[in-house]
Structure 1
Protein backbone atom coordinates (compact mmCIF):
# COMPACT_ATOMS: atom_id res chain seq x y z
CA UNK A 1 0.00 0.00 0.00
CA UNK A 2 1.22 3.49 -0.92
CA UNK A 3 1.64 5.88 2.06
CA UNK A 4 -0.78 8.85 2.21
CA UNK A 5 0.47 11.85 0.22
CA UNK A 6 -0.71 14.68 2.49
CA UNK A 7 -2.02 15.30 6.00
CA UNK A 8 -5.68 15.17 4.93
CA UNK A 9 -5.18 11.72 3.36
CA UNK A 10 -3.17 10.64 6.39
CA UNK A 11 -5.94 11.65 8.80
CA UNK A 12 -8.53 9.93 6.62
CA UNK A 13 -6.51 6.69 6.63
CA UNK A 14 -5.83 6.86 10.39
CA UNK A 15 -9.54 7.45 11.06
CA UNK A 16 -10.42 4.45 8.89
CA UNK A 17 -7.92 2.17 10.64
CA UNK A 18 -9.07 3.22 14.08
CA UNK A 19 -12.72 2.68 13.14
CA UNK A 20 -11.89 -0.83 11.92
CA UNK A 21 -10.29 -1.58 15.29
CA UNK A 22 -13.31 -0.12 17.14
CA UNK A 23 -11.56 3.04 18.31
CA UNK A 24 -12.41 6.72 17.93
CA UNK A 25 -10.16 9.30 16.30
CA UNK A 26 -10.15 11.89 19.06
CA UNK A 27 -8.60 15.35 19.04
CA UNK A 28 -5.71 14.14 21.21
CA UNK A 29 -4.95 11.28 18.82
CA UNK A 30 -5.16 13.63 15.87
CA UNK A 31 -2.66 16.01 17.56
CA UNK A 32 -0.28 13.07 18.10
CA UNK A 33 -0.56 12.00 14.46
CA UNK A 34 0.12 15.60 13.37
CA UNK A 35 3.26 15.88 15.47
CA UNK A 36 4.58 12.46 14.43
CA UNK A 37 3.83 13.14 10.76
CA UNK A 38 5.78 16.40 10.73
CA UNK A 39 8.66 15.44 13.04
CA UNK A 40 11.07 14.03 10.42
CA UNK A 41 12.30 11.51 13.02
CA UNK A 42 10.97 9.23 15.77
CA UNK A 43 10.12 11.10 18.99
CA UNK A 44 10.33 10.26 22.68
CA UNK A 45 7.32 10.79 24.94
CA UNK A 46 9.14 13.81 26.38
CA UNK A 47 9.59 15.27 22.87
CA UNK A 48 5.90 14.74 22.13
CA UNK A 49 4.75 16.40 25.37
CA UNK A 50 6.97 19.41 24.61
CA UNK A 51 5.51 19.67 21.10
CA UNK A 52 1.89 19.11 22.20
CA UNK A 53 1.78 20.83 25.61
CA UNK A 54 -2.02 20.82 25.74
CA UNK A 55 -1.92 17.03 26.01
CA UNK A 56 -0.89 15.82 29.50
CA UNK A 57 1.83 13.15 29.54
CA UNK A 58 -0.53 10.45 30.85
CA UNK A 59 -3.03 11.18 28.07
CA UNK A 60 -0.28 11.26 25.46
CA UNK A 61 0.98 7.86 26.59
CA UNK A 62 -2.54 6.33 26.67
CA UNK A 63 -3.30 7.69 23.22
CA UNK A 64 0.04 6.49 21.83
CA UNK A 65 -0.76 3.04 23.18
CA UNK A 66 -4.19 3.08 21.50
CA UNK A 67 -2.61 4.24 18.23
CA UNK A 68 -0.01 1.49 18.53
CA UNK A 69 -2.73 -1.12 19.06
CA UNK A 70 -4.53 0.26 15.99
CA UNK A 71 -1.43 -0.17 13.81
CA UNK A 72 -0.92 3.59 13.46
CA UNK A 73 2.15 4.09 15.63
CA UNK A 74 5.28 1.99 16.00
CA UNK A 75 7.38 1.95 19.18
CA UNK A 76 11.16 1.79 18.75
CA UNK A 77 13.35 0.83 21.67
CA UNK A 78 16.79 2.42 21.71
CA UNK A 79 17.78 0.49 24.81
CA UNK A 80 17.05 1.21 28.43
CA UNK A 81 14.07 3.50 28.91
CA UNK A 82 14.57 5.33 25.62
CA UNK A 83 11.39 4.46 23.73
CA UNK A 84 10.67 6.45 20.58
CA UNK A 85 7.46 6.61 18.59
CA UNK A 86 6.79 7.11 14.89
CA UNK A 87 3.98 6.52 12.45
CA UNK A 88 3.80 2.99 11.07
CA UNK A 89 5.83 2.30 7.94
CA UNK A 90 2.64 1.80 5.93
CA UNK A 91 1.87 5.47 6.66
CA UNK A 92 5.41 6.92 6.47
CA UNK A 93 6.92 4.81 3.72
CA UNK A 94 9.75 2.30 3.96
CA UNK A 95 12.83 3.53 5.80
CA UNK A 96 15.52 2.51 8.28
CA UNK A 97 17.04 4.06 11.42
CA UNK A 98 20.32 5.47 12.70
CA UNK A 99 20.41 4.92 16.48
CA UNK A 100 22.90 6.71 18.72
CA UNK A 101 24.08 4.39 21.50
CA UNK A 102 25.26 7.35 23.60
CA UNK A 103 22.29 9.72 23.71
CA UNK A 104 19.55 7.50 22.27
CA UNK A 105 18.64 9.80 19.39
CA UNK A 106 17.03 8.04 16.44
CA UNK A 107 17.05 9.45 12.92
CA UNK A 108 15.23 8.11 9.87
CA UNK A 109 17.37 6.95 6.99
CA UNK A 110 16.17 6.18 3.47
CA UNK A 111 18.17 4.26 0.90
CA UNK A 112 17.83 5.11 -2.77
CA UNK A 113 15.62 2.71 -4.70
CA UNK A 114 18.43 0.82 -6.40
CA UNK A 115 20.35 0.22 -3.16
CA UNK A 116 17.13 -0.74 -1.33
CA UNK A 117 16.41 -3.31 -4.05
CA UNK A 118 19.94 -4.75 -3.70
CA UNK A 119 19.60 -4.99 0.10
CA UNK A 120 16.20 -6.65 -0.29
CA UNK A 121 17.54 -9.20 -2.81
CA UNK A 122 20.50 -10.02 -0.56
CA UNK A 123 18.27 -10.50 2.47
CA UNK A 124 15.77 -12.65 0.53
CA UNK A 125 18.66 -14.78 -0.76
CA UNK A 126 20.17 -15.25 2.70
CA UNK A 127 16.75 -16.04 4.16
CA UNK A 128 16.05 -18.56 1.40
CA UNK A 129 19.31 -20.38 2.11
CA UNK A 130 18.18 -20.73 5.71
CA UNK A 131 14.73 -21.99 4.69
CA UNK A 132 13.13 -18.78 5.96
CA UNK A 133 10.36 -16.89 4.19
CA UNK A 134 10.83 -13.13 4.70
CA UNK A 135 7.86 -10.76 4.84
CA UNK A 136 9.66 -7.41 5.25
CA UNK A 137 12.90 -6.03 6.60
CA UNK A 138 14.20 -3.17 8.67
CA UNK A 139 17.76 -2.04 9.09
CA UNK A 140 18.90 -0.19 12.17
CA UNK A 141 22.46 1.11 12.36
CA UNK A 142 23.85 1.65 15.86
CA UNK A 143 26.68 4.11 16.45
CA UNK A 144 27.20 7.67 17.60
CA UNK A 145 25.43 10.75 16.24
CA UNK A 146 27.49 13.75 15.17
CA UNK A 147 26.91 15.49 18.53
CA UNK A 148 28.15 12.50 20.59
CA UNK A 149 30.91 11.62 18.14
CA UNK A 150 32.28 15.16 18.42
CA UNK A 151 32.71 14.69 22.18
CA UNK A 152 35.34 11.97 21.73
Structure 2
Protein backbone atom coordinates (compact mmCIF):
# COMPACT_ATOMS: atom_id res chain seq x y z
CA UNK A 1 0.00 0.00 0.00
CA UNK A 2 1.38 3.46 -0.93
CA UNK A 3 1.84 6.58 1.15
CA UNK A 4 -1.34 8.21 2.39
CA UNK A 5 -1.09 11.92 3.31
CA UNK A 6 -4.04 11.49 5.68
CA UNK A 7 -2.26 8.89 7.81
CA UNK A 8 1.45 9.35 7.04
CA UNK A 9 2.84 11.18 10.08
CA UNK A 10 6.32 11.37 8.52
CA UNK A 11 5.22 13.51 5.56
CA UNK A 12 7.62 16.28 4.55
CA UNK A 13 6.63 19.79 5.69
CA UNK A 14 5.33 21.99 2.88
CA UNK A 15 6.75 25.43 2.10
CA UNK A 16 3.37 27.17 2.04
CA UNK A 17 4.47 30.34 0.25
CA UNK A 18 6.51 28.54 -2.41
CA UNK A 19 3.64 26.13 -3.08
CA UNK A 20 1.12 29.00 -3.22
CA UNK A 21 3.31 30.91 -5.70
CA UNK A 22 3.70 27.80 -7.89
CA UNK A 23 -0.03 27.05 -7.92
CA UNK A 24 -0.90 30.64 -8.75
CA UNK A 25 1.71 30.76 -11.53
CA UNK A 26 0.23 27.53 -12.93
CA UNK A 27 -3.16 29.29 -13.04
CA UNK A 28 -1.67 32.36 -14.73
CA UNK A 29 -1.92 34.45 -11.56
CA UNK A 30 0.64 36.36 -9.51
CA UNK A 31 1.43 35.93 -5.83
CA UNK A 32 0.70 39.51 -4.85
CA UNK A 33 1.36 41.10 -1.46
CA UNK A 34 -2.34 40.86 -0.60
CA UNK A 35 -2.51 37.17 -1.45
CA UNK A 36 0.69 36.53 0.51
CA UNK A 37 -0.81 38.35 3.53
CA UNK A 38 -3.98 36.22 3.34
CA UNK A 39 -1.98 32.98 3.08
CA UNK A 40 0.27 34.04 5.98
CA UNK A 41 -2.73 34.91 8.18
CA UNK A 42 -4.45 31.61 7.42
CA UNK A 43 -1.21 29.69 8.04
CA UNK A 44 -0.91 31.28 11.49
CA UNK A 45 -4.57 30.87 12.44
CA UNK A 46 -5.49 28.00 14.77
CA UNK A 47 -8.83 27.51 12.97
CA UNK A 48 -10.69 28.55 9.81
CA UNK A 49 -11.36 32.30 9.66
CA UNK A 50 -14.33 34.34 8.44
CA UNK A 51 -13.57 37.26 6.15
CA UNK A 52 -14.23 39.65 9.06
CA UNK A 53 -11.71 37.75 11.22
CA UNK A 54 -9.20 37.76 8.37
CA UNK A 55 -9.59 41.52 7.89
CA UNK A 56 -9.16 42.07 11.65
CA UNK A 57 -5.89 40.09 11.57
CA UNK A 58 -4.60 41.96 8.50
CA UNK A 59 -6.08 45.48 8.65
CA UNK A 60 -4.15 46.58 5.56
CA UNK A 61 -6.34 44.36 3.37
CA UNK A 62 -9.27 45.96 1.55
CA UNK A 63 -12.52 44.02 1.95
CA UNK A 64 -13.36 44.01 -1.78
CA UNK A 65 -9.92 42.76 -2.86
CA UNK A 66 -9.96 40.16 -0.08
CA UNK A 67 -13.11 38.60 -1.56
CA UNK A 68 -11.51 38.54 -5.02
CA UNK A 69 -8.19 37.20 -3.71
CA UNK A 70 -9.89 34.43 -1.73
CA UNK A 71 -11.73 33.37 -4.91
CA UNK A 72 -8.42 33.25 -6.82
CA UNK A 73 -6.70 31.36 -3.97
CA UNK A 74 -9.59 28.89 -3.80
CA UNK A 75 -9.47 28.32 -7.57
CA UNK A 76 -5.71 27.63 -7.32
CA UNK A 77 -6.27 25.01 -4.57
CA UNK A 78 -4.48 27.06 -1.91
CA UNK A 79 -7.51 27.96 0.19
CA UNK A 80 -10.51 25.83 1.13
CA UNK A 81 -13.93 27.17 2.13
CA UNK A 82 -15.43 25.64 5.28
CA UNK A 83 -19.19 25.85 5.58
CA UNK A 84 -20.50 26.08 9.12
CA UNK A 85 -24.01 26.35 10.46
CA UNK A 86 -24.25 30.14 10.20
CA UNK A 87 -24.21 32.48 7.21
CA UNK A 88 -20.44 33.07 7.32
CA UNK A 89 -18.07 31.02 5.21
CA UNK A 90 -14.72 30.37 6.81
CA UNK A 91 -11.44 29.89 5.02
CA UNK A 92 -8.35 27.84 5.72
CA UNK A 93 -5.38 26.54 3.78
CA UNK A 94 -6.04 23.34 1.88
CA UNK A 95 -5.15 20.06 3.50
CA UNK A 96 -2.01 19.68 1.38
CA UNK A 97 -0.72 22.93 2.89
CA UNK A 98 -2.12 22.80 6.42
CA UNK A 99 -2.07 19.08 7.14
CA UNK A 100 -4.89 16.62 7.59
CA UNK A 101 -7.42 17.57 10.26
CA UNK A 102 -11.14 17.61 10.99
CA UNK A 103 -13.64 20.21 12.23
CA UNK A 104 -15.89 20.81 15.22
CA UNK A 105 -18.84 22.97 14.09
CA UNK A 106 -21.08 24.66 16.65
CA UNK A 107 -24.72 24.55 15.58
CA UNK A 108 -25.53 27.42 17.94
CA UNK A 109 -22.92 30.13 17.16
CA UNK A 110 -21.45 28.70 13.94
CA UNK A 111 -17.87 28.62 15.25
CA UNK A 112 -15.54 26.13 13.56
CA UNK A 113 -12.52 24.61 15.32
CA UNK A 114 -9.87 22.23 14.01
CA UNK A 115 -9.02 18.93 15.64
CA UNK A 116 -6.88 15.92 14.84
CA UNK A 117 -7.24 12.34 15.97
CA UNK A 118 -4.79 9.65 16.99
CA UNK A 119 -3.04 8.12 13.94
CA UNK A 120 -4.54 4.68 14.67
CA UNK A 121 -8.06 6.16 14.61
CA UNK A 122 -7.17 8.07 11.43
CA UNK A 123 -6.31 4.76 9.74
CA UNK A 124 -9.69 3.35 10.81
CA UNK A 125 -11.49 6.42 9.43
CA UNK A 126 -9.66 6.10 6.10
CA UNK A 127 -10.49 2.39 5.93
CA UNK A 128 -14.16 3.08 6.74
CA UNK A 129 -14.30 5.71 3.98
CA UNK A 130 -12.80 3.21 1.52
CA UNK A 131 -15.36 0.56 2.54
CA UNK A 132 -18.23 3.01 2.02
CA UNK A 133 -16.79 3.81 -1.39
CA UNK A 134 -16.48 0.14 -2.29
CA UNK A 135 -20.04 -0.57 -1.12
CA UNK A 136 -21.54 2.32 -3.07
CA UNK A 137 -19.29 2.51 -6.12
CA UNK A 138 -18.06 5.93 -5.00
CA UNK A 139 -14.36 6.54 -5.58
CA UNK A 140 -13.03 8.11 -2.38
CA UNK A 141 -10.13 10.55 -2.83
CA UNK A 142 -9.82 11.52 0.84
CA UNK A 143 -12.00 12.12 3.86
CA UNK A 144 -12.82 14.84 6.31
CA UNK A 145 -14.91 14.59 9.40
CA UNK A 146 -17.13 17.43 10.63
CA UNK A 147 -18.62 16.97 14.08
CA UNK A 148 -21.65 19.21 14.60
CA UNK A 149 -22.80 20.05 18.10
CA UNK A 150 -22.57 22.79 20.72
CA UNK A 151 -19.27 24.44 21.69
CA UNK A 152 -18.29 24.95 25.32
CA UNK A 153 -18.95 28.72 25.10
CA UNK A 154 -22.53 28.22 23.97
CA UNK A 155 -23.13 25.44 26.52
CA UNK A 156 -21.80 27.67 29.34
CA UNK A 157 -23.98 30.59 28.16
CA UNK A 158 -27.09 28.46 28.69
TM-score, normalised on structure 2? 0.89
Moved over 6 A (4+): none
Quote the Cα distance in structure 2 between the aligned partners of 1:38 and 1:133. 33
Q: What secondary structure is seen at the aligned counterpart in 2 of 1:43? A: coil
1:87 aligns with 2:93: yes
Quote the Cα distance in structure 2 between the aligned partners of 1:14 and 1:103. 32
1:52 aligns with 2:53: no
Q: 1:23 aligns with which of 21, 25, 29?
A: 29
Give the unaligned 5+ runs of structure 1.
none
Q: 2:148 aligns with which of 142, 148, 151?
A: 142
TM-score, normalised on structure 1? 0.92
Q: What secondary structure is seen at the aligned counterpart in 1 of 2:81? A: strand
Compared CA separation, residues 131 and 43, structure 1 to 2 (3 A) = same
Deviations 1:27-78 (A, max 9, x none): 0000000000000100000000100101111111111111011110001111
Give the unaligned 5+ runs of structure 2.
6-10
Quote the Cα distance in structure 1 between the aligned partners of 2:12 and 2:74. 17
Residue matched to 1:11: 17
Aligned length: 149
Aligned Cα root-mean-square deviation (Å)? 1.4
- Contact (CA 8 Å) 1:3, 1:93: kept in 2 or not? no
Q: 2:115 aligns with which of 106, 109, 112?
A: 109
Quote the Cα distance in structure 2 between the aligned partners of 1:46 and 1:3. 32
- Contact (CA 8 Å) 1:44, 1:83: kept in 2 or not? yes
- Contact (CA 8 Å) 1:3, 1:92: kept in 2 or not? no
Which has the higher mean CA deviation after the structures are superposed, 23-32 or 103-112? 103-112
